[in-house]
A and B are shown apart, each in its own frame.
Chain A
Amino acid sequence: MIIDINFIGLIIASIMASAVPLILASCGELITERSGVLNLGVEGMMIIGAISGFALMTVTESLIIAVFGAMLAGVLISTIFAFLTQTLITNHVATGLALTIFGIGISAMIGKNFVGIPGKEFPVLFEGLKDIIPLLGPILFGHSIVFYFAFALPFITSYFLKKTKIGLIVRAVGDSPESASNQGINVRLVRYACILYGGAMSGLAGAYLSMIYTPQWIENMTGGRGWIALALVVFSTWNPIKILIGAMIFGGLTIIQFHMQAIGVRIPVQFLTALPYIVTIIVLVVISRDSRKIRLSTPSSLGKSFHKDN
């Protein structure tokens, strides 16, 4: 195997590209969960985003309509979840699971006419700078706008939750909806907004898969990434920066295990395939051992319905 510096750059770039949908969906779900709502429908919202983005791109040929349309589709489907859990006070877990099943089904139905159509090329930025700097060139340049947004998102999310007033309100609602309500905060409104935001990010994550990562539509193409995104939120103990680390480890091991197979490393392939899941969990558990910090960042009312302020 040739190990040159650009080879490493290329591998890191492909690891980052594979982490993008996980980061987007996880950061969205993190905000939802921080407001005290557990939405297990990430996979369903992602797949709806994937088909919406691809369909709009094929029909309108407009990138902007497709990307924002996918986010809007995520918002619309999460509105169903928000209405059920916040207005009709249904159980979060059951409703979220139903949302996933619904999303997979309806995306397959819409997608019937889009199977077998090649996707359009998604424009990348700074393509020219890629070959100028060794190692860093392929890592930093020549990616789509969504890619850059995804890597900024954990930092924006972290800042939002810690430093902004709205961020603090979201956390207050998630930690103690009763006290927040007594302070005059409209708990239901905040939770609605957080659910819709989570929907938008999941929609974008799905659109990334169907429009940029592998430009095509195939039923079930999210392949369980929504569930991994959900797990990342929990194992990162609701910390956006740790989500970034977890997503990189997961993406990294998925790709490195393929490299190990290709080199011919004599480790059972089944073990290599399971490696990303095992190692990601171990690493996140180890870096999140501080139980005081976990208690601080866990939204105490997560998954509990709140029906005081009607």
Chain B
Amino acid sequence: MHKFFIRFFVSSLVLLFTFTVAAIAKDVKAAFVYIGPTGDHGWTYQHDVGRKAVEAAGFKTTYVEGVPESADAERVLRQLANSGHDVIFTTSFGYMNPTNKVAKEFPNVKFEHATGYKREHPNVSTYAARFYEGRTILGTIAGTMTKSNVIGYVASFPIPEVIRGINSFTLAAQKVNPNIKTKIVWAFTWYDPGKEAEAAKALIDQGADVIAQHTDSTAIVQIAEKAGVYAFGQASDMDKFAPKAVLTSVENNWGPYYVDRVKAVANGTWSQKDTWHGIGDGMVVISDLDSQMPADLRSKVKKLQADLASGKVHSFTGPIYDQKGNLMVAEGKTADDGMLAGMMTYVKGVEGDIPK
């Protein structure tokens, strides 16, 4: 009986605390819809880190994980909107149409769609991160650190986001080392540790001594560690998985944006926006640079990082040619956001074809 009372007391306290926090936060409730499980340690995991930041700022949050990009998404969204959520973040490209459709039915609920471009109703905003800026940094490091001049790249699916990353990476690597070759292997998965490991092994066996990845698991950096080659962390700092191999990581940092937007809802200042933040706004974060990199490279990277942040340097500065030698971006110009958003051609220097 004694134990029961302690438990009762503690749980009442917890309940009381929750209610108090909710009251302070003016009852603004935020919901998050995830494509994968929060345990993927990649894309969804990072969004959930952002959600926890919102929670830490005193707001109530809910999340639904593993929501397919189908009619199911609509049902989940409608249910969340019906159950008193004031702002709903939909964190995958495929939720674009469901988000807009449900937004029409619930004009008082705010919708925030990640990586999309459709804002059909005043209560829909979109946001994305300029990850390609991070890949410019990775390319610079890879081009400098490679000895075999073969760089491996494990890609996921042929969509503009991934192609843009490959291009930005290759352009930067070529700039510091015109002799490099980027070998691309498509794994056709966002995360399957076994498959990613096999893809990385194949690239290493074929002479790649730096491996970049656009898939989410930590398998690739672990394989690189075993094989004694370099690699880069994806989405979160993966240094602890492969302390020798990982030179740096590009981290997705959604927290500040999420807190900002939920606060705006609470203050009544929320308005429709299209956000595309990069290194400068802190949405793309470069982890600590490994000490194996020579000091001059490290300072060069630091400078590049600052220049990308200030806008002095753009990842896609002309002249840029495609594989056939056609001019994509003229000398002195930079690629505009429209071109970046729909980028589906390789730049010169990337080997192979984009899978159709």
Contact = CB atoms under 8 A, between A and B. Distances in A.
Interface of A: 1-2, 7, 10-11, 14, 18, 21, 108, 111-112, 115-116, 118, 209, 213-221, 223, 225, 254-255, 258-259, 261-264, 266, 268-270, 273
22 contacts: A1-B207, A115-B39, A209-B193, A214-B194, A214-B217, A214-B218, A215-B222, A217-B39, A218-B40, A218-B191, A218-B193, A221-B192, A221-B194, A225-B194, A254-B195, A255-B198, A255-B202, A262-B206, A264-B183, A266-B353, A270-B188, A273-B186
Secondary structure dominating the interface of A: helix
Most buried by A among B185, B189, B194, B222: B194
A223 B352 contact: no
B184 interface: yes
A216 B217 CA distance: 9
Given A215-B222, A223-B189, A261-B185, 13 more contacts: A7-B205, A14-B201, A209-B194, A213-B194, A214-B193, A258-B202, A261-B202, A262-B152, A262-B184, A262-B208, A269-B186, A269-B355, A273-B186
A254 B198 contact: yes
Contact of B355 (A11, A21, A270): A270
A33 B223 CA distance: 36
B188 A273 contact: yes
Interface in B71-90: none
B352 A255 contact: no
B218 A261 contact: no
A216 B39 CA distance: 11
A216 B222 contact: yes
A217 B189 CA distance: 17
B197 A213 contact: yes
Contact of B37 (A219, A258, A261, A262): A219
Residue from A111, A214, A216, A223 having most chain B Cβ neighbours under 10 A: A214
Contact of B198 (A14, A21, A209, A263): A14
B66 to A, nearest CB: 9
B277 interface: no
B13 to A, nearest CB: 24
Range of interface residues on chain B?
35 or more
A273 B195 CA distance: 11
Contacts of A223: 189, 192-195
Contact of B45 (A115, A261, A268): A115
A258 B198 contact: yes
A269 to B, nearest CB: 4
Nearest to B204: A10
A263 B150 CA distance: 12
B195 A219 contact: no
Interface string B223-242: 10000000000001000110
A270 B45 CA distance: 28
B203 interface: yes
Contacts of A2: 207
A18 B241 contact: no
Contacts of A258: 185, 187, 198-199, 201-203
Contact of B202 (A217, A225, A262): A262
What 3 A-B pairs come out closest when comparing CB atoms?
A: A258-B202, A214-B193, A219-B39
Contacts of A264: 183, 351-352
Nearest to A109: B39
A131 B356 CA distance: 42
A162 to B, nearest CB: 32
A137 B269 CA distance: 68
B41 interface: yes
A144 B236 CA distance: 30
A2 B150 CA distance: 13
Given A10-B205, A254-B198, A259-B205, A214 B219 contact: yes
